[in-house]
Structure 1
Amino acid sequence: MPQPRTIDTLLAQYSESHVHPTNELIHFVCVPVIMFTLLGLLWALHPAVALTFTAAAMLYYLRLSPRFAVGMAVMAAVMLAILVTLPPATVLPLSITVFVLAWIGQFIGHKIEGKKPSFFDDLRFLLIGPLFVLSFLYRRFKLAY
């Protein structure tokens, strides 16, 4: 029997603590918001920092699944395009505020779920969360990953 791909194993492990429908819904909202606000925090340091972080994440995603890397690149490009349009003075306060609120949402979801966040066991799951959300879109549109 063939070994499962690393991405399939990581998504299966991540999904173990994301079964409750309310927790899933919270994650579908909060994970992309956290991704956007993290890019915003990095953008506030310097746009090159956000772009470097994005490039490094894309390399990781490319190793896991080229098709997921494409989806993540599109998401990141849209988020970075939004950051370009925001007044520079608003990026940091907006990002900090929404980042904190989204993480509060995540922890509420895990309280409802009754399980701790996956990244407490493995920091890679901070990068797998967006793929978990994206995997639902891929399956909905019957796209292989």
Structure 2
Amino acid sequence: MRKIDQLFAEYAESHQNQTNKLIHWICVPLIFFTIVGFISLIPAPHFCASYYGCISIASIVALVLVSIFYFSLSWRISIIMLFIMFLMEHLAYAINIHFNSNSWIVFLSIFVITWIFQFVGHKIEGKKPSFLKDLQFLLIGPIWLLHFVLKKLGIKY
């Protein structure tokens, strides 16, 4: 069994309840987005591109490191997640421009609310979140959801 399949199987053990799954479908992408948003606030030089906006060196470094981890599991998932992360970065940039120095409040509010829902989901499930056993599961959650989409589309991951 491939490492990614083992990680998905282990992650799935604590995500069997339909309510918990629904909560994860909403909250995991939002939590991932808020992390991208927080990283975008790190003071660092930025690169700007027409029609995209600006991206900081801190964000680029984070995207590269996460992509390397994902690439070690699946090159297809890595490419798709890189695209998703760039979209999230673009949205985070728009929020940073719109809310100026208060954008951190937007990211923090979403982060706290979604984590509350995540823990409620796990309370309903009756199992602890996977990341409490192994921190890498914080990065597995988003691709666990993505793998369902890819399966539905008939795309091997």
Could you give the per-residue CA deviations for residues 55-107 of structure 1, whole angstroms, max 9, x where no partner exists? 10000000100011012112101101112222232421100110011111110
1:38 is matched by which residue type in structure 2?
I
Distance 1:65 1:11 in 2: 12
Unaligned regions of 5+ residues in structure 2, if any? 44-55
Query: Which of 85, 100, 103 in structure 2 is aligned with 1:91?
Result: 103
Match of 1:68 among 77, 80, 97: 77
Name 1:138's counterpart in structure 2: 150
> Which runs of no fewer than 5 residues in structure 1 stay unpaired?
none
TM-score calculated relative to the size of structure 2 = 0.87
Tell whether the 8 Å contact from 1:41 to 1:91 is kept in structure 2 after alignment.
no
* Same amino acid, percent of matched pairs: 39
Number of the residue aligned with 2:50: none
SS in 1 for 2:41: helix
In proportion to residue count, which structure has more strand? 2
- Return the structure number with greater relative CO, CA threshold 8 A, min gap 6: 1
In angstroms, what is the RMSD of aligned CA positions? 1.0
Partner of 2:51: none
Bigger shift: 43-52 or 121-130? 43-52
Is 1:52 the equivalent of 2:52?
Answer: no
The reply on whether 1:24 has 2:28 as its aligned counterpart is no
